[in-house]
Amino acid sequence: MHSATNIDTLRRPNTASAPSRATGSFRRLLSLCLLFGMAFASPLCAEDDEPDDQPTEASSDDAQSSPEIDLSPAGAKNAANEKALLKLIRDACEKEDFSALRETLTDLLNEAYPQLEEKYPDGNAPLSAVKGNAAQHALACARILSLDEALDDGVDAKARIKFLNWMLRGKGRPALSFLKLADKAKMPNADLEVRFCMLRYCYEANGSKAASSFKALLDPSACVKKLYPRSRKDIQAKVKQLLGTKPKGCDEEQQEAINRVNIVRYLCSQAPTVGYDRSFAANALTAAKACKRAGHLSHDLGDYTADCNLNYESTKTMSMARTVICYVEDPGDNNREVRGHRAWVLHPGLAKTGFGKIEDFQAMWVKSGHTEPRPEVGYSYPGRGYFPKEYMWGDGWSYYAPEGTRLQQSAKVEMWQLPASPRSAPKGKALSDENKIPVKAIFVHSEDSIPTGQSIVFEPDYDKCLKCRGRVVGVYWVRISSGDFEDEYVVELY
């Protein structure tokens, strides 16, 4: 029986809420403490991370006065403001007092721009909301610190300090450069969080030189076609188009389910052209009714049950579109090795379908055009190249070999986590044992049955993978080997 489990629908808490505002006197006192504290520990910077804010010897006047930092438009051209801001950031980094620095920067910005907090209560004001280099630098640092606080679970403390020192103080002002590109791309905060986690991983793995290549990380149009069949911009546009497909001869619920089928197929390099068939929908309803009469799911009940994906879950929360998630995730011990429901959704020959449901039983017709040959290039779930994390359901990955390939039972699956998007097939250090992701289970299907013949189901060890808010993200290189056959591809979960 295929019993569906609950799917994480990415309900994100609002972790970027604006911090409480300090009074003016408290803010100035805090700034004074940060600027002229007695502790001057050396910052934790990589050897090639020479900071942009080298300290100069303080004069007696500097030691006795607390310079005001005016981030308002009126103070935008005053070089003293930027100098004082750099010192504030430097001293806070040296004392590793990042939380206090974020609060101070936020207070300075809200004082200079009183409407900022009201207009952007989530704290994600774009850099264009403020004027002048100092104000934009302050805002960039505050946003980076907010991201860090929201995404610090499981991060090594020393590595975190080193990374923040580079982001806030490194040459070229990485925090400012990073967020300028993100704002230019109009990147949603959820996507920005993922890119931030990936940047931090890249810095820890390869240092500042590699991490400074922000363009490939943030530009939605950046795409090495050989490895990435679709750019993030392409994906965004196509998913929007498919979601907007209107019903033709069916109700909205049927069409929404078909739209989701086509989105998953598109992301997995299969034709997103599945259409609705009234007779198939009627057959699916007949299958659902047969399961209801039996009181359980089975493909051996007649009444088209052998021609449908079947699912059981409360209809209080189960729309037809949501059943597609269940079929693609394909959870349960009885589905684990084969993931046959997924294979039908992604099968090259699926041309038309229809959905049916009655009470807690649901069905999707899948037996149309199933004699279609396999493609000349292997396909997979998650698909090659960029793959939005919200369409990654469950922990089982699938690979479907190209036409003419005969997989052996001894086939191997290897997987590595890469620090950044590759421009060519990685080799050497990138594919070292240090970067290898263990594959906990491999199930090879070397027979010629439809739809799972010549396929592999495998389960990466998610405990070893990069995560953002509990979901696996990052860049992964997958190698499939079977005798003389080998296929390699990148999956970038974002």
For the segment 307-328, what is each residue's pLDDT rounded down to a tens digit?
999 999 987 778 999 999 999 9
Average pLDDT estimate for 197-222: 91
Under 8 Å CB-to-CB from 25, ≥6 apart: which residues? none
Cα(97)–Cα(38) distance, rounded to whole angstroms? Answer: 13
CATH architecture, range 233-365: 3-Layer(aba) Sandwich (3.40)
Q: What band does 368 get if pLDDT is binned at 50, 70 and 90? A: confident
Q: What is the average pLDDT value for the chain, to the nearest integer?
A: 89
Please indicate whether residue 55 or residue 263 has the higher confidence score (pLDDT).
Answer: 263
pTM (2 d.p.): 0.85
pLDDT above 50: residue 47: no
Place of tokens 């699926």: 350
Task: Check residue 67 and give its pLDDT.
Answer: 62
| CATH code assigned to 379-493 | 2.60.40
Task: Check residue 52 and give its pLDDT.
Answer: 67
- Torsion angle of C-alpha atoms 331, 446, 263, 350, degrees rounded to 10: -110
- The tens digit of pLDDT for each residue in 172-191 reads 999 999 999 999 999 999 99
Can you give the residue ranges of every domain in the chain? 24-218, 233-365, 379-493
Cα(4)–Cα(324) distance, rounded to whole angstroms? Answer: 11
Average pLDDT estimate for 470-481: 98
Cα(34)–Cα(89) distance, rounded to whole angstroms? Answer: 8
Task: Check residue 15 and give its pLDDT.
Answer: 38
Q: What band does 272 get if pLDDT is binned at 50, 70 and 90? A: very high
Cα(408)–Cα(439) distance, rounded to whole angstroms? Answer: 18
Angle at the Cα of 64 from the Cα atoms of 51 and 141, rounded to 5 degrees: 30
pLDDT above 70: residue 34: no
Buried b (16+ CB within 10 A) or exposed e, 31-66: bebbbeeeeeeebbbbeebebebeeeeeeeeeeeee
Task: Check residue 453 and give its pLDDT.
Answer: 95
In this predicted structure, which of 9-23, 211-225, 433-447 has the lowest mean pLDDT?
A: 9-23
Q: What band does 50 get if pLDDT is binned at 50, 70 and 90? A: low
Please indicate whether residue 480 or residue 8 has the higher confidence score (pLDDT).
Answer: 480
